[in-house]
């Protein structure tokens, strides 16, 4: 194990020490997450597979709605019962009742949680300013698992507060970075170990770069890419970044309240360089209206992550099917006699058809992440994309703003600034 590249290692902290653990161990046991220097033992007992877990859905029509199917996903999972739904919008609540056929409905999610006491809660609204309160309310009312729309919360401080409460109560939180649950990811990581693209040199990611390009793109779409980059390259150690508005550095006068409840926001262009635990750089860039689409397939051509090696490139197209492709051969010295071609990579390997015919639908509908959360609750382990990864992603996003605030200075993680750095400009 010690001879393997750092990209295949996963780590947890305990008592101030860093321990390397295998993916199999991650899938079979709980990962202890540190909260303010303390390791808290899970107190939640595993739940029998025979028990149908009661799920309550929180939405808010007109203010983030129900996210990307965080309400209907549970209808496709047989071992759950939708016991209740809450929506502060009367028309939205009526529509949700007709769609979900829950046991009861509520205009106030706090009342629902107090009366129903569900085992699992789906926090659906995309508007991030509601997430902290909804998460804490669910934890305080004794839930065992939470599935929450991304982005996780608005600031590292909110993430600290939520994770401290969740760890103390033994609550499992899964964040809806659904690409993280794709079974091709461990296949790709093994390909990297085997040298399929030679020596890995860097990671490069971009957002969708549509009208949201820049800081908003970083929040609502770049969060997916941050999560993937950390999966392959390890947690971030530092970042340096530049945030621009119409080609000039963002200033205090540019800061506004952002869309989707994100909080203070500025900049329609950004360039960031992260240093990952593996020692490799991860670059993330987003420019407003730079998006190019494949007109034949309508696939957003920029949204994804590329892993660049000395002898090839692995490409991940976020939320697309297939998710991954590989092009072998030097990306710097192309051999025109033998043109490089892209090959899809499935969970069975390079150029092989995906053995699970229902995989794309299970990911798009959030069913695969939902099943993983239920197994995590039953097995007493952390989900594949847990709250700690949610906090990590939020720190990466806020790290971009903090570096810009400090004139591009290299900023280390964990961030010392736990608020939105744009509030300090």
Return the residue matching tokens 């698992």.
145
Question: According to the model, what pLDDT value does residue 339 have?
Answer: 82
Given a contact cutoff of 8 angstroms between Cβ atoms, the answer to whether 40 and 15 are in contact is no
Q: How many helices (H) and strands (E) does the chain have?
A: 11, 25
Please report the pLDDT score of residue 298 as a whole number. 57
> Which tens digit of pLDDT belongs to each residue from 350-366?
999 999 999 999 999 99
Q: What is the pTM of this model?
A: 0.87
Please work out, in degrees rounded to the nearest 5, the angle formed at the alpha carbon of residue 405 by the alpha carbons of 277 and 279.
10
Q: Given pLDDT bands bounded at 50, 70 and 90, which one contains residue 34?
A: very low
Q: Are 373 and 38 in contact (CB under 8 A)?
A: no
Q: Please, is 225 exposed, middle or buried when counting C-beta atoms within 10 Å of its C-beta (0-12, 13-18, 19+)? A: buried
Buried b (16+ CB within 10 A) or exposed e, 354-378: beeeebeebbbbbbbbbbbbbbbbb
Share above pLDDT 70 across residues of the chain, in percent, rounded to a whole number: 86
End-to-end CA distance of the chain: 45
- Spatial CA neighbour of 303 closest among 200, 220, 381: 220
Task: Tell me the fold of 181-364.
Answer: Dihydrodipicolinate Reductase; domain 2 (3.30.360)
CATH classification code of 53-179: 3.40.50.720
Do the beta carbons of residue 182 and residue 363 sit within 8 Å?
Answer: yes
Where along the chain do the CATH 3.40.50.720 domains lie?
53-179
Dihedral sign from CA coordinates of 18, 24, 27, 30? negative
Region(s) of the chain under CATH 3.30.360.10:
181-364
Provide the pLDDT for residue 334: 79
**CB atoms inside a 10 Å sphere around CB 348:** 14
**Cβ atoms of residues 180 and 320 within 8 Å:** no
Condensed to tens digits (0 to 9), the pLDDT of residues 378-412 reads 999 999 999 999 999 999 999 999 999 999 999 99
Q: Can you give the pLDDT at residue 20?
A: 35
Q: How many CB atoms lie within 10 A of CB 160?
A: 17
- Give residue-wise pLDDT tens across range 56-86: 999 999 999 999 999 999 999 998 999 999 9
Q: What is the DSSP string of 102-126?
A: -SEEES-HHHHHHHH--SEEEE--S
Contacts with 149 (C-beta within 8 Å, 6 or more apart), sequence order? 64, 67, 68, 70, 123, 124, 125, 126, 131, 176
The pair of three-digit structure tokens given for residue 75, joined into one six-digit string: 């209808």
* 158, two tokens: 């909110």
Question: Is the Cβ–Cβ distance between 127 and 59 less than 8 Å?
Answer: no
Q: Given pLDDT bands bounded at 50, 70 and 90, which one contains residue 49?
A: low
Q: How many CB atoms lie within 10 A of CB 379?
A: 16
279 versus 35: the higher-pLDDT residue is 279
Confidence category of residue 338, pLDDT binned at 50, 70, 90: confident
pLDDT of residue 31: 34
Confidence of residue 17 (pLDDT cuts 50, 70, 90): very low
Cβ within 8 Å of residue 408, ≥6 positions away = 240, 241, 242
Is the bond leading into 22 cis (omega within 30 degrees of zero)? no
């Amino acid at each position: 194990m010690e001879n393997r590249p750092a990209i295949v290692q996963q780590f947890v902290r305990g008592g101030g020490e860093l321990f390397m653990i295998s993916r199999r161990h991650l899938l079979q046991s709980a990962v202890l997450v540190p909260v303010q220097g303390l390791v808290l033992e899970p107190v939640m007992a595993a739940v029998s597979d025979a028990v149908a877990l009661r799920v309550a859905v929180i939405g808010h029509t007109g203010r983030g709605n129900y996210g990307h199917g965080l309400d209907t996903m549970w209808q496709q999972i047989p071992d759950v019962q939708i016991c209740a739904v809450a929506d502060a919008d009367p028309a939205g609540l009526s529509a949700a009742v007709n769609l979900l056929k829950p046991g009861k409905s509520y205009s106030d999610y706090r009342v629902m949680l107090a009366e129903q006491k569900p085992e699992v809660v789906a926090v659906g609204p995309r508007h991030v300013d509601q997430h902290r309160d909804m998460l804490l309310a669910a934890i305080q009312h004794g839930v065992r698992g939470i599935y929450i729309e991304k982005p996780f919360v608005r600031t590292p401080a909110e993430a600290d507060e939520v994770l401290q409460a969740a760890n103390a109560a033994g609550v499992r939180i899964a964040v809806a970075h659904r690409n993280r649950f794709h079974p091709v990811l461990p296949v790709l990581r093994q390909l990297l170990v085997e040298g399929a693209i030679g020596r890995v040199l860097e990671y490069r990611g971009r957002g969708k770069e549509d009208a949201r390009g820049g800081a908003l793109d970083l929040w609502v779409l770049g969060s997916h890419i941050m999560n993937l980059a950390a999966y392959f390259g390890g947690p971030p150690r530092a970042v340096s970044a530049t945030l621009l508005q119409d080609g000039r550095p963002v200033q205090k006068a540019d800061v506004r309240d952002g869309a989707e409840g994100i909080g203070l926001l500025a900049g329609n262009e950004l360039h960031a360089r992260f240093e990952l635990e593996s020692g490799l750089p991860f670059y993330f860039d987003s420019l407003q209206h730079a998006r190019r689409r494949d007109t034949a397939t309508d696939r957003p051509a920029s949204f994804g992550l590329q892993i660049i090696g000395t002898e090839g490139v692995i490409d991940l197209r976020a939320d697309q099917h297939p998710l991954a492709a590989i092009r072998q051969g030097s990306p710097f010295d192309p051999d025109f006699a033998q043109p490089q071609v892209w090959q899809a990579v499935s969970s069975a390997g390079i150029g092989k058809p995906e053995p699970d015919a229902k995989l794309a639908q299970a990911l798009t509908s959030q069913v695969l992440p939902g099943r993983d959360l239920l197994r995590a609750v039953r097995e007493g382990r952390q989900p594949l994309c847990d709250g700690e990864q949610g906090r990590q992603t939020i720190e990466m996003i806020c790290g971009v703003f903090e570096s810009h605030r400090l004139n591009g200075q290299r900023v280390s993680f964990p961030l010392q600034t736990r608020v939105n750095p744009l509030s300090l400009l």
